[in-house]
Amino acid sequence: MPTLHWIGKEKVVNHHQDVPYRVLEHQYGFDAEQGERTEPTESGNKIIHGDNLEALKSLLPGYEGKIKCIYIDPPYNTGEEGWAYNDNVNHPKIKKWLGEVVGKEGDDLSRHDKWLCMMYPRLQLLFKLLSDDGVIFISIDDYESHHLISIANEIFGIKNKIATVVWDLGTGTQAGHFVRSHEYVLVYCKNKNLVPNFKGGAGEIKHSALKKISKKNPKSDFTFPKGTRFDADSGTKLDGSWGGSEKTFLKHGEMISEDGELPDKVTLEAGWAMKSQMKEWFYGNKNETYDTKGQKLLEFYFNSSGVLTYRKEKSVINPPTVIRKLANTKSGSKELEGIIGENNFDFPKPHELIKYLIKLVTSKNDIVLDSFAGTGTTGQAVQQLNKEDGGNRNFILVEMEDYADSVTSERVKRVIKGYHFNGKVKKALKSYKINITNLKNANDLVDFYEEKRTNGEYNEVNIESDGEKINIVGVKKVSGKVNGIGGSFDFYQLGQPLFDENKLLNEDVEESRIREYVWYSETKTAFPKERAEDAHKHLLGTKDETDYYFFYEKEIITTLNHEFLATIKQKSDQYVIYADNCLLSKEFLQSRNIIFKKIPRDISRF
């Protein structure tokens, strides 16, 4: 498979393994009843402030292979540097990281090289976090979509690319030769064989209810009752036989349309494709007629050519690769302003878009991750979907900027608890096509505008144009209260690294966090939350008939010796024991199925 190369790639391909592991430090909890509180909510919903590369690494012990849905909206790298989103790769933190990882070459990188260096290790960690049947959605536009597809193919595998979805914005901005009116959502998964087809909602199938007459499908009679729908002009009459290879023959009565219906019963002969369902629908229970796949029959009728046609519900509708009439970036801006007030964020994603994507792939107890959380739209989308279908999905949001608390978290708080809003409602008052006639009568437009502007009915009256029409629009200020939808979350800061600059254990880190890390490094599973009351103080847990012990004390040098072994009462097939030193011989360890690991030398870095 062709791969993409750029300056600095060799420095970042394996960089995710060198990212320091930092602990997550709890700052506060928040729920609908109490508001902000010091103790954790233990809800499973998390908002994390910190570098998303390091935050993703910190999530591995608890979440590797467990995230069902990832949605990210990374910088589009348009070169704009005035956005609150920092839609470029010249952000000071990114520059600092590039200097440390890529070295002096970083000074010579184009913005596309920098963007690729930034994205590659983050996608690698996201791949680790994604469940085997999980799906990742990535919003992007033309600036980096081609590069993103190349590195996503490399990391997720081209066979696991599900689609490039086009989001039709329904509006646009001038972009050179064209008006840019769409964005992309790239859709990848970890293992396409484990991802069922998406369900995009209800739909209908319309098709001929005839088959070609043959030995396997002989013709037979069927009598259609008076009032059967016949979509032909009144007075249309069919005689003898009609249709192509799937012929219909008139046996008794008249095949005639009166006001779109049969005026009397008629018997026809044909190769019927669904005769048992026809009997049930016409002469049994119309509301409980199903085909052999369990799809509900809605109607049998004759089309304008006299061909018997059926309508039935489609049990599964795969969503189209073009998303239309589903909000836009402008509606996302209005939505955010309504929740947190005036702000500096240009074109945040609307929660309806993200909710739609999440709904395609998640069940009610899945986890959703957004590591470019921005204004917290994904948190709102998850909570809103939970309210609608009674789900208990969890969200994890990561935001590196300082507004992680004041905007990202604040938005989710207000959605949970409710908020007062001040906004504007627009109403189109009159519309004039741009043509010679209306231009000659421009005074009428001006008079109408002045009347509406001065009569006090609207706070503002504006004249707008879409290039084809001139619109007079009235604007009213509105205010009110939106009720909260409930829920809770915990807010974290990215904290101390587990290892110091000398590659020793950082003694400022809580021992429980070190134990959690060591357990994960050995087993690649989340640290057990429950322990037996009489469990050994230094026992981490048991997995695959192996007991893991972490003999660590901050104030003393620990030694694996006969005295320590005497404290172990639990029998196991094998023992892995961490300590600072070991006084037991290799022969003795092997005879007792004990594996000694030296602290910190033998603690794996992942």
Q: Match 């600036």 to its residue by tokens.
A: 143
| CA 289/CA 272 separation, integer angstroms | 16
Q: Is the pLDDT of residue 522 over 60?
A: yes
First vs last C-alpha separation in the chain:
27
DSSP string of 218-251, one letter each residue: --EEEEEPTT-BB-S-TT-EE-SEE-SSS-EEEE
- pLDDT value of residue 84: 44
Q: Cα(385)–Cα(474) distance, rounded to whole angstroms?
A: 34
Sorted by sequence, the CB contacts under 8 Å of residue 517 that are 6+ apart come out as 21, 61, 498, 603
Which among 487, 327, 513 has a CA at the least distance from the CA of 395? 487
Q: Which among 282, 274, 299 has a CA at the least distance from the CA of 217?
A: 274
Query: What confidence score (pLDDT) does residue 319 get?
Result: 86
pLDDT at position 530: 83
Give pLDDT, residue 97: 63
Alpha helix segments (H runs only) across 349-462? 351-361, 377-389, 403, 410-417, 436-440, 442-454
pLDDT at 202: 55
pLDDT at 124: 97
Residue 573 sits at φ, ψ, to 5 deg, of -70, -30
Domain ranges of the chain: 23-200+321-420, 204-313, 422-480, 508-598
pLDDT tens digits for range 214-235: 888 899 999 999 999 999 999 9
Between CA 231 and CA 307 the distance in angstroms is 10
State pLDDT tens for residues 337-372: 888 887 778 778 899 999 999 999 999 999 999 999
Q: What is the pLDDT of residue 200?
A: 63
State the pLDDT confidence band at 105, using cuts at 50, 70 and 90.
Answer: low
Decide if pLDDT at 438 tops 80: no
Residue where the block lists tokens 């990832």: 70
Tell me what percent of the residues of the chain surpass a pLDDT of 70.
Answer: 93
Q: Where is average pLDDT lowest: 10-14, 194-198, 439-443, 460-464?
A: 439-443
Q: What is the mean pLDDT of the chain?
A: 89
More confident residue, 163 or 295: 163
What pLDDT is stored for residue 83 in this prediction?
39
Is the CB of residue 304 less than 8 Å from the CB of residue 291? no
> Does the structure show a pLDDT above 80 at 96?
no
Check: CB of residue 163 under 8 Å from CB of residue 135. Answer: no
602 or 449, greater pLDDT: 602
Amino acid at 199: K
Q: Is residue 88 predicted with pLDDT exceeding 60?
A: no
> What architecture is domain 23-200+321-420?
3-Layer(aba) Sandwich (3.40)
Is pLDDT larger for residue 530 or for residue 80?
A: 530
* pTM for the full predicted model: 0.75
- The amino acid occupying position 603 is I
pLDDT for the residue numbered 101: 67
- What mean pLDDT is predicted for residues 534-563? 95
Number of helical H runs and strand E runs in the chain? 16, 29
If pLDDT is split at 50, 70 and 90, which confidence band does 94 have? low
Confidence at residue 201, expressed as pLDDT on a 0 to 100 scale: 54
Whole-number Cα distances in Å, 469 to 64, 458, 501: 54, 21, 66
Position 446 pLDDT exceeds 90: no
The position carrying tokens 């997550």 is 24
